[in-house]
Structure formats: structure tokens, C-alpha cells
């Protein structure tokens, strides 16, 4: 009793959730699990099969049929984890701008979400996990020991995403990214099922002007405080 074992980190695209969660998981020796890769993998599978992303029923079938496997990095090329789609390494394929532009729609489908949620809960059952997403604190793990909602301005997030693309050698423009960021924010937060929003008991951290170190320190303080209070 008392250990902060399940940690949920939610927030909008490119707020810095991945960096924070990776650092936190490494500091605590917990499993890092990014649920966004699952929605990205479903989207990639559908695009490759030339399925109409508007067809909710077929999208649900795809979500149930495909096998998504997420494991610690298998290649030392800066990837936070390795993602397999039906046994194929799609770690970088799911980061292409085409996936960014399309992923929000399948994420609005209730049956796609329930399949992803089922798999995510199974992974979290073992505890000692930092799980990252949009609805982890609200839907997937409502009993998480600590819930962080990491926010930042759309402009700051667009700058970060632009840097990610450039680091990966991909072409992109700031204005296009900012527009796509606003569009995804709208879709993610206005959907009926599991919309992006902080859980009532989440700690909201706005990191627009904070460094990763500062955010990490804040979260470590929260964990220490909570574990002390529980003793
Ligand atoms: O965090 P990300 O950018 O990789 O997420 C990709 C998309 O997946 C995002 O637009 C919303 C969706 N998503 C979701 O709906 N629920 C989650 N738990 C994680 C991601």
C-alpha cells in the first residue's frame, strides 16, 4: 500500500507527454506505455488497406483484427518504443504527417476505443506503469494512483512537433502543423466518446514555459508527497 504504481499522463498532442513519461518511467523503473501508438497503428492499417476511414463499422473490424505489439526500443535510433503491426516494425511509419492528419477520426469511434481500452487495461493490470494518452485518467484507468494533465499553448506545441519532424528528416511547415494541431485539438476534445479533458482529480501542469526538468521535478514531488501521506 502507498506506492504510486499506476501513473496516467494525459494532454493534447505534442505537449511533451512522451518526454515526461519516458523520463519518469526510467527514473522509477516503470513500464512506459504510449497508448497513442495504438490509434496510430489502426489508422496506418486502414490507410494501407485503402479502407474508408469514415466507415466506422469496418474501422472497428480492423481494430479487432490487427495485432499491435509495443515493446521497449529494439533499435537505438531515438525511438521511445518499438511498435509492431501484425509483426512488422511500424515505429516510424506511424509518425508520418499523413497519420497525424488522419488519426483523430478513427479515435472518435466507440468500438475502436473499446478494443484499444481493453488491451490497455490488460497492460496496466501488472502496475508500475506510466501510461500516456488522452483518456487514461478519465476512462482507461480511472483508479490510477496519480493523474497528470500536461498542457501547453498550441503555438508551443507546434514548435515542438516541427522539431520532431526536422529531427526525423521530414519536411513540414510551422503553419501547417499549427493548423493541424488546432484541428486535432477540436476533434480530440469535442468527440462524444472519451473526449480529451482532465479527470476531476488530475493535477494540471501547463508546461508552455517550463523545461522538462522542471516538470519532472514537479511530478516527482507529487509522487513523494502522495507516498508520504499514505504512510
Ligand atoms: O499522442 P498521439 O499524438 O500519438 O495520439 C494520436 C491520436 O490518438 C490523437 O489524435 C488522439 C488519439 N488518442 C486517443 O484518442 N486516446 C488515447 N488514449 C491516445 C491517443
What CATH number is attached to the domain comprising 88?
3.40.50.300
Q: Three-state DSSP class for 51?
A: coil
Which residue among 102, 126, 150 closes a domain? 126
Boundaries of domain holding 182: 1-30+128-221
212 and 133 in one domain?
Answer: yes
pLDDT at 165: 86
Judge whether 161 lies within some domain: yes
Count of structural domains within the chain: 2
Is any ligand 1 atom within 6 A of the Cβ of residue 33? Answer: no
Which residue among 81, 106, 126 closes a domain? 126
Is any ligand 1 atom within 6 A of the Cβ of residue 43? Answer: no
Which residue among 68, 96, 126 closes a domain? 126
Residues sharing a CB contact under 8 Å with residue 219, sequence separation 6 or more, in sequence order: 20, 24, 146, 148, 205
160 and 114 in one domain?
Answer: no
103 and 68 in one domain?
Answer: yes
Is any ligand 1 atom within 6 A of the Cβ of residue 108? Answer: no
pLDDT at 197: 93
Of 16, 38, 39, the one to substitute when testing ligand 1's pocket (max ligand atoms within 8 A of C-beta) is 39
Q: How is 89-139 classified by DSSP, letter by letter?
A: E-TTGGGSHHHHHHTTTGGG-HHHHHHHHHHHHHHHTT--EEEEESSIIII
pLDDT at 122: 92
- Tens of each residue's pLDDT in the chain, 231 residues: 579 999 999 999 899 999 999 999 999 999 999 999 999 999 999 999 999 999 999 999 999 999 999 999 999 998 999 999 999 999 999 999 899 889 989 999 999 999 999 999 999 998 999 999 999 999 999 999 999 999 999 999 999 999 988 988 888 899 999 998 999 899 889 989 999 999 999 999 999 999 999 999 999 999 999 999 988
CA–CA separation, 50 and 58 (whole Å)? 11
Judge whether 85 lies within some domain: yes
Amino acid at each position: 500500500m502507498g506506492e504510486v504504481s499506476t501513473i496516467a499522463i494525459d494532454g493534447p498532442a505534442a505537449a511533451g507527454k512522451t518526454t515526461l513519461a519516458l523520463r519518469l518511467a526510467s527514473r522509477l523503473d516503470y513500464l512506459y506505455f504510449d497508448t497513442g501508438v495504438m490509434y496510430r497503428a489502426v489508422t496506418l492499417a486502414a490507410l494501407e488497406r485503402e479502407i474508408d476511414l469514415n466507415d466506422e463499422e469496418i474501422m472497428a473490424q480492423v481494430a479487432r483484427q490487427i495485432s499491435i505489439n509495443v515493446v521497449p526500443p529494439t533499435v537505438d535510433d531515438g525511438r521511445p518504443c518499438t511498435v509492431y503491426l501484425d509483426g512488422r516494425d511500424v515505429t516510424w511509419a506511424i509518425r508520418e504527417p499523413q497519420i497525424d492528419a488522419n488519426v483523430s477520426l478513427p479515435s472518435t469511434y466507440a468500438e475502436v476505443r473499446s478494443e484499444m481500452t481493453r488491451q490497455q487495461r490488460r497492460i496496466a493490470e501488472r502496475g508500475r506503469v506510466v501510461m500516456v494518452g488522452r483518456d487514461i485518467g478519465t476512462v482507461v484507468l480511472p483508479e490510477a494512483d496519480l493523474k497528470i494533465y500536461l498542457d501547453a499553448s498550441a503555438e508551443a506545441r507546434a514548435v515542438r512537433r516541427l522539431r520532431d519532424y526536422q529531427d526525423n528528416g521530414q519536411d513540414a511547415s510551422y503553419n501547417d502543423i499549427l493548423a493541424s494541431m488546432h484541428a486535432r485539438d477540436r476533434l480530440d476534445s469535442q468527440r462524444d466518446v472519451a473526449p480529451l479533458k482532465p479527470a476531476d482529480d488530475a493535477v494540471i501542469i501547463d508546461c508552455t514555459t517550463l523545461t522538462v526538468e522542471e516538470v519532472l521535478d514537479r511530478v516527482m514531488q507529487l509522487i513523494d508527497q502522495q507516498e508520504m501521506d499514505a504512510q
